A and B are shown apart, each in its own frame.
Chain A
Amino acid sequence: MTDVYSFQPLMVRRPYRIEYIHSYGEVSQFFLGLKEQKLYASRCPRCGATWLPPRRDCGKCGAKCNWFEAPTEGKIHTYSVLHFAGEAFLNDLPFVLVYVEFPGIDTVFLSRLVGVKPEDIVIGMPVKARFKRLVEWNANDVYFVPA
């Protein structure tokens, strides 16, 4: 039965749902690594660039990268306390996004910060990774807490 929302103009509800069999492809090891409580990053043997999230192919020079284990302690590079979000995350509100900088890693890593009052968060604050025991095989299997 079509659910009519309005007759003038005629507006009807049209649901749409799809399931993807999604592949993490060449970066699968990163997500598998989260279950081992490890952050797998990649390093370019040619130009030395380091990537977290990892890349098979260096984004600077194009060479094939090698895997290595990144440190799990870093510092807050920047953050925001979210009071609104996309539909999929409304139930999580409010939550804190952080970009974490790690020693020896060129990129900064997006994650969530928990266990700290919003007013106590400062840029430069030391944080460490925590890993979910019951993994969901996505980027939220790792999050950060104050170190």
Chain B
Amino acid sequence: MRRVCVISGGITKFAKANPELTQEAMCKDAFDRALADAGLELKDIDSSICTYFSDHFNGQLLFDSLTQDYLGLCPKPSMRIEGGGATGGLGIRAGYMNVASGLSDVCLVYGFEKMSEVSTAKGNEFIALASDTDFDFPVGGFYSGYYATMAQRHMHEFGTTAEQFARIAVKNYDNAFYNPYAQKHERLTVQDVLNAPMIATPITRPMVCVMSDGAACVILASEEKAKQITRRLVYITGLGCGTDTMRLGDRPRGDVILLPGEEPEKYAYLKGRWPGVASFRGGREAARQAYLQAGITDPLHQIDFAEVHDAYASSELQTYEDMGFCKYGDGGKFVESGLPYLDGELPVNPSGGLIACGHPVGATGIMQGVFALWQLQETIQDHMKSDRLQVKDARRGLIHSHAGTGTYITVHILERGW
């Protein structure tokens, strides 16, 4: 396989509603920004991967052909990738395959979602249709409800508190305040978050990501091609993908999957109990694969920042543990220690994450790739008109994309090569 670089990225400002533009025009705006940033032209793109989540949001099937056409990419090869909330991350994985295999030298990975054409309650119903419609949807019909039961179990098993979830939401809002692409520019206190309207105990409204209209793209290239295009090389050095049962209740209770360098004794206290409904086995498996490939044995110190899928503040906390940033059960202490803050040892979601940037599903996992690329190219100042969110001396970043209750999870490790 060939080495693969991310050479540029583009994104639209995520918004609650963007009725001024169609999805294809939003994709074009993101694409034009990525082309301009790399000094590329349309003819330089060999292939594309299109990612969007749901046909229900707009009633348009084969939207990928509409966008492929609009971007001027016909008759080049393309493919749509879909995997719930992990749609964008899976798209980057597919783009990597295109380039690493030699099928393409330069591949555009672009994704979008326009969620504003239906009411929030209807949108939640569509998202919930991505749970088992025979057994789970008729009973709950709401993803926040499913994640809330996971959060409740985590609190029961490990003593995690709602205040710790609230701290994560506050952190992400604080970061997004300096991200002009974010949907939300608000400042909240822990008390504000805890006192906000309850969605599903223990999750309040600001602990949940918001529906959004947006598009994002990254351009991937072979190392050889990338060297002709940019001096600021950023390599994809590790990829992982994990899955889990569609129904949360079917998750096994066994032993922790060990990350490279971990010994079984470390998790003796969880023997026969993991993951249950408190953790994401697919996330752990994705991290294991990616760390093995990238040679990571001490993620807390060997990774400089992470953009993780915080559809819920609680799932960000659970993800700290899955990624091995701390031990299982220590996610609450991890946030209290300050480590995932912008000035901490391992800033998590310096962009503001999904909670504050918004979650236009098909664009989200790619958004993470864009922000991670800018961190590693040290171009946050250029793109955000402020270097406030630039992680100092960022050499290695992790991006984590996640679908409904952890059914699909991807992890990519991006590394600076300049």
Binding site for B on A (CB under 8 A): 6, 9, 11, 14, 16, 24, 27, 51, 53, 59-60, 77-90, 97-99, 106-112, 118, 123, 138-140
Task: Given A83-B199, A86-B128, verify A78-B139 contact (CB < 8 Å).
Answer: no
30 contacts between A and B (CB under 8 A): A14-B59, A27-B134, A53-B135, A77-B153, A77-B277, A78-B152, A79-B152, A80-B148, A80-B203, A81-B200, A82-B148, A83-B197, A83-B199, A83-B200, A85-B124, A85-B145, A86-B121, A86-B122, A86-B128, A86-B141, A86-B142, A87-B121, A87-B124, A89-B141, A97-B149, A99-B248, A107-B250, A109-B249, A112-B139, A123-B153
B135 and A139 form a contact (CB under 8 A): yes
A99 CB, nearest partner CB in chain B, Å: 5
- Closest residue of chain B to A143, judged by CB? B139
Which residue on chain A has the smallest CB distance to residue B122? A87
B156 within 8 A of A: yes
B59:A16 contact, CB within 8 angstroms: yes
A51 to chain B: which residues have CB within 8 Å?
A: 250
Known contacts A14-B59, A78-B152, A111-B139; is A84 also within 8 Å of B200 by CB?
Answer: yes
Asked if B138 lies at the interface with its beta carbon under 8 angstroms from chain A, I say yes
Contact yes or no, B149 A78, CB < 8 A: yes
Question: Top 5 nearest A-B pairs by Cβ distance?
Answer: A86-B125, A80-B148, A78-B153, A87-B121, A86-B141
Picked from A16, A90, A99, A106, the residue with its CB within 8 Å of the CB of B121 is A90
Query: Distance (Å) between the CB of A69 and the closest chain B CB?
Result: 18
* Contact digits for B114-153, partner A, Cβ 8 Å, 1 yes 0 no: 0000010110110110001011101111101110111111
* Count class of interface residues, chain B: 35 or more
Q: Which residues of chain B are within 8 angstroms of A107 by Cβ–Cβ distance?
A: 247, 249-250
Q: Which residues of A contact B277 (CB under 8 A)?
A: 77-78, 99, 108
Alpha-carbon gap, A98 to B144, bound state (A): 14
Is there a chain A Cβ closer than 8 Å to B198's Cβ? yes
User: How many contacts between A and B, using CB within 8 angstroms?
Assistant: 124
Q: How far is the CB of B202 from chain A (nearest CB, A)?
A: 8
Closest to B134 in A: A24
Interface of B is mostly: mixed
Residue of A11, A79, A90 ringed by the most chain B CB atoms within 10 A: A79
- Asked if B124 contacts A86 (CB within 8 A), the reply is yes
Greatest chain A CB density within 10 A among B122, B148, B201, B277 is at: B201
Let me know if B245 is at the binding interface, CB within 8 A. Answer: yes
Cβ-based interface call for B19 (8 A):
yes
Query: A27: nearest residue on chain B (CB-CB)?
Result: B134
Task: State whether A82 touches B150 (Cβ < 8 A).
Answer: no
**Chain A residues positioned under 8 Å from B253 (CB to CB):** 106
Shortest distance from the beta carbon of B99 to any chain A beta carbon, whole Å: 35
Task: Find A139's partner among B138, B144, B197, B250 (CB 8 Å cutoff).
Answer: B138
Q: Which of A53, A77, A88, A112 has most chain B Cβ within 10 Å?
A: A88
Extra contacts, 8 of them, besides A11-B19, A86-B122 (Cβ < 8 A), are: A53-B135, A60-B252, A82-B142, A86-B141, A88-B141, A99-B153, A99-B248, A111-B139
Taking CB atoms, residues of chain A closer than 8 Å to B136 are 110, 139
Alpha-carbon distance A30/B245, docked complex (angstroms): 19
Measured in the bound complex, the distance between the Cα atoms of B125 and A90 in whole Å is: 10
B382 contacts A by Cβ under 8 Å:
no
A142's closest neighbor in chain B, by CB? B139
Q: For B198, what are the chain A residues with a Cβ–Cβ distance below 8 Å?
A: 81, 83
Asked if B263 is an interface residue, CB under 8 A from chain A, the answer is: no
Q: How many Å from the CB of A85 to the closest CB on chain B? A: 4
Interface code B391-402, partner A: CB below 8 Å = 1, 0 otherwise? 000000000000
